[in-house]
């Protein structure tokens, strides 16, 4: 199964993605995790991405597309995968569709939208800032990341809706409740 997780920062994509990994036995591909690892390791890619990440802006499409393409080719991702944080704009979504076709892989099966109200998102990101100390979980950066989500990523709901792949799940409640909703939605 090939799943895209959609939702604002802090909507629970990472956490629910991990639960899907355990349940479905397919890997999760997180461009945010890959970029943070590159920044921590001080690689060239990390240096290119760092400023945009700290400002809550999107990293250049070529960079994240390169990360995903390399990861999709690995053996463990051949039976399926869960994408967390990619695609984040329509261009990336189109490139992803073309990439799967080019690699002879089946298309995305479902785009799961985790829906959470803005005030709850802000509350969660503040908590995460305290717990994890992420550079991009600061007040002004949080606000900017939500704006970027609304402007660039939210249109992907219509993109996947047009492909009849979009399922929307309420991302509030206990982790297990949300997970059960996701399982129900992906069938
Ligand atoms: P995340 O952990 O998914 O919230 O990602 C953290 C940051 O990494 C984002 O705010 C962006 O700066 C960058 N990033 C992650 N995924 C992407 C993507 N698909 N396109 C562009 N930038 C990304």
List the domain boundaries for the chain: 2-26+80-186, 31-78
pTM of the predicted protein model = 0.95
What CATH architecture is 2-26+80-186?
3-Layer(aba) Sandwich (3.40)
Return the percentage of the chain with pLDDT > 70, whole number: 100
Instruction: Scan for tokens 């990472």, then name that residue.
Output: 14
Radius of gyration of the chain (CA): 16
How many angstroms separate the CA atoms of 108 and 56, rounded?
Answer: 27
Q: Which helix (H) or strand (E) holds 71?
A: helix 61-72
Q: Distance (Å, rounded) from C-alpha 28 to C-alpha 56?
A: 22
- Which residues are bridge partners to 83 per DSSP? 4, 29
pLDDT digits (tens, 9 = 90+) for 101-120: 999 999 999 999 999 999 99
pLDDT over threshold 90, residue 128:
no
Tell me whether residue 88 is one of the annotated catalytic residues. Answer: yes
Q: Give the residues surrounding ligand 1 with Cβ less than 6 Å away.
A: 9, 31-32, 35, 52-53, 56-59, 64, 85-86, 88, 92, 136, 145
25, 41, 22, 23: which is closest to 33 by C-alpha? Answer: 41
- 134 a catalytic residue: yes
CB 179 within 8 A of CB 16: yes
Instruction: Confirm whether 145 is a catalytic residue.
Output: yes
């Amino acid at each position: 199964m090939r799943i895209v997780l959609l939702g604002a920062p802090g909507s629970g994509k990472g956490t629910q993605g991990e639960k899907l990994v355990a349940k479905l036995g397919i890997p999760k591909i997180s461009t945010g995790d890959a970029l943070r690892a590159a920044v921590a390791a001080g690689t060239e890619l990390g240096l290119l991405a760092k400023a945009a990440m700290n400002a809550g802006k999107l990293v250049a499409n070529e960079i994240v597309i390169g990360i995903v393409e390399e990861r999709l080719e690995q053996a463990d991702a051949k039976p399926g995968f869960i994408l967390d944080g990619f695609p984040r704009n329509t261009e990336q979504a189109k490139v992803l569709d073309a990439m799967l076709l080019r690699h002879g892989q089946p298309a995305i099966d479902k785009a799961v939208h985790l829906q959470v109200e803005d005030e709850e998102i802000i509350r969660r990101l503040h908590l995460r800032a305290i717990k994890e100390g992420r550079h991009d979980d600061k007040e002004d950066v949080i606000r900017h990341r939500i704006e970027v989500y609304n402007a660039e990523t939210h249109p992907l709901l219509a993109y996947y809706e047009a492909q009849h792949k979009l399922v929307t799940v309420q991302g509030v409640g206990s982790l297990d409740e949300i997970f059960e909703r996701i399982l129900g939605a992906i069938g």
